[in-house]
Amino acid sequence: MRSIRISEDIVPVSDFKARAADWLKRLAETGQPVVITQNGKAAGVLVSPSEFDRMRERAGLLEAIDAGLADEKAGRVVSHAAVVTEMQRRAATRASKR
């Protein structure tokens, strides 16, 4: 996604309301977000559904990374080798019961 261009990508809410269909068409064609202002200040950002999905997925990934780092810092992790050893032990126990 390219940087927002003030002359092209920022629109007052009154202009947006008057030409909403045109702005939605432009969004679909370019994929570029539109900043909607109210009283001269940013009030919202319009993005395409695919861009919204991409941002949500990325946010979810970042949250999972943060949670993993917090777990590591708190000592709530197990090494890969320990997991493999435990899985092998469980498999051997199941095999011996057959």
pLDDT surpassing 70 at residue 83: yes
pLDDT surpassing 80 at residue 88: yes
Closest CA to 15 of 33, 31, 38, 32: 38
Rounded to 5°, the CA angle 8-9-12 comes to 100
Question: Which of the four CATH numbers 3.20.10.10, 3.40.1620.10, 1.10.240.10, 1.20.1070.10 does domain 6-96 have?
Answer: 3.40.1620.10
pLDDT surpassing 90 at residue 4: no
Closest CA to 20 of 7, 34, 31, 32: 34
pTM value surpassing 0.85: no
Instruction: Please report the pLDDT score of residue 98 as a whole number.
Output: 79
5 compared with 82, residue with greater pLDDT? 82
pLDDT surpassing 90 at residue 5: no
Residue 21: beta bridge partners? none
How many C-beta neighbours within 10 Å does residue 8 have?
11
pLDDT surpassing 80 at residue 8: no
Instruction: Please report the pLDDT score of residue 22 as a whole number.
Output: 95
pLDDT surpassing 80 at residue 54: yes
The alpha carbons of the chain give a radius of gyration, in whole angstroms, of 25
Instruction: Please report the pLDDT score of residue 16 as a whole number.
Output: 96
Closest CA to 1 of 54, 63, 42: 54
